[in-house]
Amino acid sequence: MYKNISDWDRMIAGKLYNSSSKDIEKQHNDGMYRCDRFNKIPVRRTKAKQRALEKLIPSAKGNYLGVFAPFYCEYGVNIHVGKGCFVNYNCTFLDVASIILGDGVWIGANVTIATPNHPFLAEERLPADYPDGNYDLEYASPITINEGCWICSGATICGGVTIGKNSIVAAGAVVNRDVPPNSIVAGVPAKVIRQIDEGDRINVWETYVKNEFPVPARDKK
């Protein structure tokens, strides 16, 4: 009965799948090819690079996704983006399960978003011979980063995490549990430092027009 379910369908559903199966290998190779092609197209070839990005991440079409190369992912088709997202240099999206970015999500340089997981026991984690062949079994959990979030440089987002809207993940943080909306989290593992509120307002337009340094409202008191 288990042979009636493809490993791709198992993978997408978050169940154990054989990562060395032929259908997974083909999808993975196709994804790596599209990723390599995107990275190799010169920046000045704007239209060609955009076409390559949309082939790599189909949800990018019409959503004004900006990605600075190099960018790395496994499949691309499991990355789903809202409007106006931005991904900075040298980011890695391991999209074994879905990676969902809401509208206006910003991803800093060197960020890793990793959905895969593996059995903790080495004897179950390593490829092994089973009754009908050799299997390399693993699984993955989706990641959702809601609208308006900013993931700062060098952060790692682990599988199964949901980050609430308008939150900020500090540089170098490792997020292994859900983040409430409008929160700043930092550390390893990441913990809520405080909520974002009106005290953080810097009146961007007025400050820009006056050519002043940006100072949060709470620091002006």
pLDDT in tens, 69-78: 999 999 999 9
Q: Which of 154, 136, 184 is nearest to 28 (CA)?
A: 136
pLDDT in tens, 7-22: 999 999 999 999 999 9
Q: Which of 112, 116, 115 is nearest to 125 (CA)?
A: 116
Average pLDDT over residues 30-53: 97
Cβ-Cβ contacts under 8 Å for 121 (sequence gap 6 or more): none
DSSP 150: E
CB < 8 Å & 24+ apart, contacts of 142-146: 142/14, 142/97, 142/98, 142/99, 142/100, 142/115, 143/97, 143/98, 143/99, 143/100, 143/113, 143/115, 144/100, 144/102, 145/99, 145/100, 145/101, 145/102, 145/105, 145/113, 146/102, 146/105, 146/181
Buried b (16+ CB within 10 A) or exposed e, 38-77: beebeeeeeeebbebbbbbbebbeebebebebebbbbbbb
Residue of 103, 118, 136, 154 with catalytic role: 118
User: Residue 28 catalytic?
Assistant: no
Query: What is the rounded CA–CA span in Å between residue 66 and residue 134?
Result: 41
Average pLDDT over residues 70-98: 98
User: Is the pLDDT assigned to residue 4 strictly greater than 90?
Assistant: no
- Residue-range domains of the chain with CATH: 2-219 (2.160.10.10)
Res. 134 pLDDT band, cuts 50 70 90: confident
